[in-house]
Every structure is written in C-alpha cells, then in structure tokens.
Amino acid sequence: MEFSAEQIAQFLRGEIEGNPQEKVNNISRIEEGGKGTLSFLANLKYEKYLYSTTASIVLVNKSLALSQPVTSTLIRVDDAYQAFASLLNLVQGTVPRKKGIDPGSFIAESASVGKDCYVGMFAFIGENVKIGDSVCIYPQVYVGDNVSIGDNTILYPGVKIYHDCQLGKNCIIHSSTVIGSDGFGFAPGEETFQKIPQLGNVIIEDDVEIGSNVSIDRATIGSTILHKGTKLDNLIQIAHNVEVGENTVIVAQAGIAGSTKIGRNVMIGAQAGIIGHIILADKVKIGAQAGVANSVKQEGVILLGAPAFDIRDAKKSMILFRRLPQMYDQINKLEKEIELLKNQLTDKG
C-alpha cells in the first residue's frame, strides 16, 4: 500500500517540509534508508543519519533544529516515536485477520465461539469456554475449561490457558506463554514438602500484551491480576496472587514473587527481582538487575542495585566502587607511612 507525505501528515496532524506528493510503500531504519521508504528520528544519537539517509520521508519532532540540509521530505510532529507507532498500527489494520474454524481443531460442545473468530489446526477449546467476537486462536493453543476470552484477543501458537482464567478484550498473548499454572506453594514437613492446592485463577484485563515464554501462576485463593494496559516482555515470571497495576511495563527475565502488589504506571527493568508480599507505589521505576526486598511507598521513586536503593545514592556508590582499587592502594600507602612515623618516634624516644 502506498501513501503520500500529504496523506501521512493529514493522519498525524503534522507539518510537511519538502514535497507533499512524495510517496512511500515501505518503512526503514533511518541509518539504512531507501527510496520509497518512511523512517523516523526520535533519538538524537541518530541525528547524523538524517543528513545522509535516502529515505523518502522522515518523521521528526517539531522541536528539532536542523544543522545541515536534508534531501528527504520531513513531517514534523509533536512526538516522532508515537507518530511512527500510530502509522504502524494503521498499516497493520489494513492486513486482514484470519477467520474460520479449522477442521483439525477441537471445540467442546458446551463452548461458545463469537463471530468472525479464527481457531487454527490442533487448537483445543475446553468445556464451557466463552470466546468473544473476532478472537484469533492460532494452532496448538490450549484453552482449558471455563475460560473466558474477550473480543479481538489474539493467542499465538502454543499458548496455554489453564482452567477458570479470564482474559479481557484486545489482549495479545505471544507463543508458548502459560497462564494459570499452579503457584509455587508447598508446606514444609519433617521429611517432605506437602503441595498446597492452588484454587484461584488468573484475571487479565483489557489491552494487555504478554510476550513469549511468560509464566503467570494462578492464585492460591482469589486471583492473580494483570490490570488494564499492562505490557509484559518475554521470559517473565509472575507468581501466585501478584497484582500488577494499570499500564505497568515489565521487561524481559524479571521475576515477581508471590502476593506482591505493584502500582500503576510502574516500570521494571530486565532481570529485576521483586520479593514477595511487598507493595510498590505508583510510577516507581526499578532498574535492570535490581533486587527489591522491601515495600516502596513513595510514588515515582527510582531504584537501582541489589539490594535496590535510591538512584542518587546508588550512583554515588557505583562511583566509589570503581575507585576501590585506588583507595585500597592509598590506604596501604598511608599505613606504611604511619608505621614508619611510629618507628621514627620510637627511635627518638
């Protein structure tokens, strides 16, 4: 599909600098460019490529001041990254979604499937499942008994949804993710561990996206909950009875232990570990590989390190840590000088 700069600017409410009839039919990274492609500049680290790219159209921020002439047609917008994302969503919306029930799938008689759905080869839909309209269930997906799935949700190949779980509207679950597996609950005995039955479920609200190979455990009692707009990267563990607030983002390989309550608009970096039974306030930011062992009750705090503490103190500590070898040598030198002075004073005495 082909778009002109004029059409794109109209959709984005942007301002054109250059040829309004310039046309594109593909996208590219700004450092690679290419005639007939559209690119964007959001990170100023890549500004040098703006002056050499052969991309036909480039989205830039209105605030960007040019230091050299450019050959591309520019469309100035408030936020180039957001604008680029909007365009990609527009293009994706033109791709027809799959529809129809593959004869190689299994759907229980007691299950209900809405209009314009797709159920792929070898997918399994259990008893009393309720599936909304325009849901896409790709091959080899397992949907257990009594599960409900909202309109326009997509389950990619190999997703497993255990019994009694609830998925909202417009969710995207990527391949090999497991929702509703047992929480890690065992009571220690004298010689063995006794399994604690996990009788709850998982509730995923609207507009949640979950990456591949994520495990979200069902609650022991009650529900493990991902609230509206939450975004999870790949390879994340969410333990039983965790509650994740609206519009929270968790990056790859992070782990959240049981019964922790995470606020709204929280950002958790890659490989971070959050201990169980604590609370993180709204808008808290946790750095990559941080280890959070205590509740964070103040909104907007940024934490780094393991154990994690305030970013300002963490940065000071990192500077000191890098200087430890030098400080060690200085201390050794001072000890030798002190010892020499002691010997001199003893000799004079």
d(CA 23, CA 25): 7
135 and 43: one domain?
no
125 and 81: one domain?
no
120 and 81: one domain?
no
Is 333 inside any structural domain?
A: no
Cα of 210 vs its chain's centroid, Å = 8
Residue 315: pLDDT over 80: no
pLDDT tens digits along 220-230: 999 999 999 99
Is 327 inside any structural domain?
A: no
Residue 173: pLDDT over 70: yes
pTM equals 0.85
Mean pLDDT of the chain: 94
Is 321 inside any structural domain?
A: no
d(CA 172, CA 60): 29
Q: How would DSSP label each residue in 274-334?
A: E-SS-EE-TT-EE-TT-EE-S-B-STT-EEETTTTEEHHHHHHHHHHHHTHHHHHHHHHHH
85 and 230: one domain?
no
Is residue 277 part of the annotated active site? The answer reads: no
- The helix/strand/coil state of 216 is strand
Contact 347, 341 (CB under 8 A): no
Q: For residue 18, what are the domain limits?
A: 3-93
Determine how many CB atoms are found less than 10 A away from the CB of residue 139.
15
Is 324 inside any structural domain?
A: no
Instruction: Please give the DSSP secondary-structure letter assigned to residue 200.
Output: -
To the nearest 10°, report the CA torsion of 173, 197, 131, 143.
60
Lowest mean pLDDT of 4-8, 89-93, 209-213, name the range.
Answer: 89-93
155 and 295: one domain?
yes
**pLDDT band with cut points at 50, 70 and 90 for residue 324:** confident
pLDDT tens digits along 282-313: 999 999 999 999 999 999 999 998 887 677 77
82 and 121: one domain?
no
Residue 349: pLDDT over 70: no
Determine how many CB atoms are found less than 10 A away from the CB of residue 185.
18
Active-site option among 163, 227, 240, 277: 240
Residues found in the chain: 349
196 and 246: one domain?
yes
168 and 293: one domain?
yes
d(CA 4, CA 12): 12
To the nearest 10°, report the CA torsion of 322, 328, 330, 333.
-160
Determine how many CB atoms are found less than 10 A away from the CB of residue 334.
10
Number of domains forming the structure of the chain: 2
Q: What is the pLDDT of residue 4?
A: 96
**pLDDT band with cut points at 50, 70 and 90 for residue 185:** very high
SS3 breakdown of the chain: % helix, strand, coil, rounded to 5?
Answer: 20, 30, 50
139 and 220: one domain?
yes
12 and 120: one domain?
no
Question: Domain of 22: which CATH number?
Answer: 3.40.1390.10
pLDDT tens digits along 211-268: 999 999 999 999 999 999 999 999 999 999 999 999 999 999 999 999 999 999 999 9
pLDDT tens digits along 108-126: 999 999 999 999 999 999 9
Percent of the chain with pLDDT over 90: 84
**Domain final residue pick, 75, 93, 111:** 93
